[in-house]
Amino acid sequence: MDNQHPPTRLVVPMQRGAYQNNGASPWFCTLKLGTPAQPLRFAIDTGTNMNWITSTLCPADQCVHFSGGRFDFAASSTFAFTDCLRRPYSFGPWGTMQVEAACDVLDVPGDDLVDIQLFLTAAYEGEQFKQLDWDGGLGLPCSSAYLENRSSFVLQSLMREGQLAPTCPYVTFDWNSRSRNGTCQMGAVDPSKTQGPHLFLPWSVYNKLPGVEYIWSTALESYSVGSHLLARDIQFALDSGSSQFKGDDSLMRQTLALIAQGEHPDIVLGFTDGEITLGADLYNCLIEEGPQKGQRLPQFAPLGMTDLVLVGSLVMEHCYTVYEYQVVKCDREVYSLAPVGVWLFNRPDGPQIITRSSSKRFVPGARAVLNHKVTLPGPMAKTTSVAGIWKNDYGSVMSLAVSGHNIHGSYRSSTGSTGEYRITGYSAGPGATRTKSQPVALAIEWHDLGNEKPDPSWNWTSGLSGQLSVSPEGDVLTLSHLLVASGDFPEFASCGTYVDKLIYHRAEPSLRHAPVAPSEWLPVENALAGRWNAADGTSLVLSVRSDSQQRFGSVHGHFTSVHSSIATEISGFTDIHALASKLTLQSVSITVATTQDSTVSSLSGILDLKSDTLHLQVLASSSIAPDHAYLATKLSAMQFTRAT
- For residue 1, is it within any domain? no
User: What pLDDT is attached to residue 499?
Assistant: 95
Q: Do 220 and 347 share a domain, yes or no?
A: yes
Q: Do 404 and 347 share a domain, yes or no?
A: no
At 301, is the pLDDT very low, low, confident or very high (cuts 50, 70, 90)?
very high
Q: Do 422 and 323 share a domain, yes or no?
A: no
Rounded to whole angstroms, how far apart are CA atoms 330 and 234? Answer: 34
Domain boundary residue among 115, 137, 157?
157
User: What pLDDT is attached to residue 152?
Assistant: 95
Name the average pLDDT for the chain. 90
Q: What are the tens digits of pLDDT across the range 428-470?
A: 887 888 888 899 999 999 998 887 888 999 999 999 999 999 8
Q: Do 631 and 558 share a domain, yes or no?
A: yes
Q: What is the pTM of this model?
A: 0.67
Lowest mean pLDDT of 212-226, 357-371, 411-425, name the range.
Answer: 411-425
- For residue 166, is it within any domain? no
Q: Do 219 and 143 share a domain, yes or no?
A: no
Lowest mean pLDDT of 24-33, 228-237, 407-416, 527-536, name the range.
Answer: 407-416
Q: Do 390 and 480 share a domain, yes or no?
A: yes
Q: Do 113 and 230 share a domain, yes or no?
A: no
pLDDT reading at 517 higher than 70? no
User: What pLDDT is attached to residue 257?
Assistant: 93
Mean pLDDT of all residues in 98-108: 96
- For residue 169, is it within any domain? no
pLDDT reading at 383 higher than 80? no
Mean pLDDT of all residues in 272-299: 96
DSSP 582: T
Lowest mean pLDDT of 226-230, 307-311, 315-319, 626-630, name the range.
Answer: 626-630
Rounded to whole angstroms, how far apart are CA atoms 362 and 355? Answer: 17
Rounded to whole angstroms, how far apart are CA atoms 38 and 166? Answer: 29
b/e per residue 248-267 (b: at least 16 CB within 10 A): bbbbbebbbebbeeeeebeb
Lowest mean pLDDT of 185-194, 246-255, 471-480, 600-609, name the range.
Answer: 471-480
Q: Do 283 and 324 share a domain, yes or no?
A: yes
CB-CB contact of 133 with 41 (8 Å):
yes
Q: Do 318 and 415 share a domain, yes or no?
A: no
Helical H segments across 143-248, by residue range: 154-160
Number of domains in the chain: 3
Q: Do 504 and 403 share a domain, yes or no?
A: yes
- For residue 234, is it within any domain? yes
Q: What are the tens digits of pLDDT across the range 402-417?
A: 887 889 999 987 666 6
- For residue 186, is it within any domain? no
- For residue 168, is it within any domain? no
Q: What are the tens digits of pLDDT across the range 53-92?
A: 999 999 999 999 999 999 999 999 999 999 989 999 988 7
User: What pLDDT is attached to residue 2?
Assistant: 43
CATH code for the domain of 272: 2.40.70.10
Domain that holds residue 329: 191-356
CATH code for the domain of 461: 2.40.128.30
User: What pLDDT is attached to residue 512?
Assistant: 46
User: What pLDDT is attached to residue 428?
Assistant: 87
- For residue 174, is it within any domain? no
- For residue 167, is it within any domain? no
Q: Do 346 and 264 share a domain, yes or no?
A: yes
Q: Do 549 and 440 share a domain, yes or no?
A: yes
User: What pLDDT is attached to residue 451?
Assistant: 78
